[in-house]
Amino acid sequence: MLEETKHILSQLVAFPTVSADSNLDMIHYLANRLDDCGARLDISHDESGKKANLFATLGPDRDGGIVLSGHSDVVPLTDQTWSSDPFVIDERDERLYGRGTCDMKGFIAATIAMAPQFARKVRGRPLHFAFTYDEEVGCIGAQHLKETLIQNEVIPRLAIIGEPTNMRIIDGHKGCCEYTTRFEGLEGHGSTPDLGVNAVEYAALFVSRLLELRDELQTMVPKTSRFNPPWSTLNVGAIHGGDVHNVIAPKAHVNWEMRPVQDSDMSFVKKAMETYCSKTLLPAMQTVHPDARIETDIIGEVTGLIPTDVNEARTLLSKLTGANATDLVSFGTEAGIFQSLGMDVVVCGPGSIEQAHKADEYLAVDQLTQCLSMLEKLSDTL
């Protein structure tokens, strides 16, 4: 089974599914493999028609069951120097080098290699495969998949998201929300600031309000929070605007992010900033220049995976892996989107997140072996 998984992984890595490009070739490859096993297939395209999700099912046609999920896209190679072709598997020192090997085509390859065995053994509950697009740029494909599942009235009971965790069982992570807020004022000479609307100054006021909210969030810690730090965080990543000393800057923008430990914190921050802009900043800007604007672009809003006291997926994975402990991670995944549908969800997959997104990304062979062992035991529970 290991050699077959390596072969499939080599095929998957050869598809250059960088988020900016199409993933259709890889999706069709996966669909053909699952079709050969008798799976029922649902391919849903994005608006451009160049990307798609694949949702496939083995076993009885009924609600519930288990879904094995992974994203098909990978991050770009920009400014990275590789020692081998990133889209050709290079096996050396018990490691499989290639873009996406650990994040997260290794897990996908293992599920596809196991698919014929799953097909033979599945009986009482369905087994689903969910392969999405554009996880790396805001979990766009998973949001689309959520809509598709609701429309088709197909909601699995449990979900295993195969992100690289070194096969540790992860039952929680913070959300990750990224925004760009743009300010458009009125250019003028620096000697008459009252005749212009300085976008940089209003961007600075916006950032000051964000920092006030950051302090407030530290007083809103859920009693059960296991995160480190336990509160929701805010970060200002960049401020851009203006060119020279003596010109009133007509445009500016702020890149900022929020990592909520609970959805209510995300709503609190968004409402507070919307109110501050609409009731305070924008009226002051438009008093001088009626066409002044403040607009916020949502780069991505990734829902967190909230730890719960009861989690059937966690219980199942503990039996399959023999691990009693669970953990939290700092990186975001699609898990919270599945959880929002009412599923019990864990993140567990081969490889280390420390290898993801880097030059010479690799997946250790022993990690792939552990993953196959877990899936082998899963097949006996179907």
Residue 54 has pLDDT above 90, yes or no: yes
169 and 72 together in one domain:
yes
139 and 185 together in one domain:
no
CB 65 within 8 A of CB 82: no
124 and 167 together in one domain:
yes
Q: For position 310, what pLDDT does the model report?
A: 95
Q: For position 330, what pLDDT does the model report?
A: 81
CATH number, residue 240: 3.30.70.360
**Distance from the first to the final alpha carbon of the chain:** 19
Residue 297 has pLDDT above 90, yes or no: yes
81 and 96 together in one domain:
yes
Record the tokens describing residue 153, joined without a space.
């009235």
Candidates 370, 371, 300; CA nearest to 332 is 300
Q: Give pLDDT tens digits for 312-357.
A: 999 999 999 999 899 999 888 999 999 999 999 999 999 999 999 9
Residue 98: pLDDT band by 50, 70, 90 thresholds? very high
316 and 251 together in one domain:
no
Q: What is the pTM of this model?
A: 0.88
Sign of the CA dihedral 189, 194, 195, 200?
positive
Bridge partner residues of 111 (DSSP): none
95 and 158 together in one domain:
yes
148 and 222 together in one domain:
no
Structural domain range at position 320: 2-173+304-379
Sign of the CA dihedral 20, 92, 8, 319?
negative
Domain boundary among 302, 317, 347: 302
Domain boundary among 274, 302, 330: 302
78 and 180 together in one domain:
no
308 and 298 together in one domain:
no
What are the residues whose beta carbons fall under 8 Å from the beta carbon of 271, sequence distance 6 or more? none
Burial of residue 117 (number of CB atoms within 10 Å: 0-12, 13-18, 19+): middle
- The whole-angstrom separation of Cα 51 and Cα 311 is 32
CATH number, residue 350: 3.40.630.10
Active site residues: 73, 135
- Counted domains in the chain: 2
CB 240 within 8 A of CB 252: yes
Residue 103 has pLDDT above 90, yes or no: yes
Domain boundary among 302, 324, 342: 302
Q: Give pLDDT tens digits for 161-189.
A: 999 999 999 999 999 999 999 999 999 99
Record the tokens describing residue 182, joined without a space.
């743009």
Candidates 240, 241, 243, 245; CA nearest to 191 is 245
111 and 185 together in one domain:
no
340 and 358 together in one domain:
yes
Look-up of token digits 């996908």 = 108
Candidates 288, 277, 285; CA nearest to 254 is 277
234 and 290 together in one domain:
yes
Mean pLDDT of the chain: 96
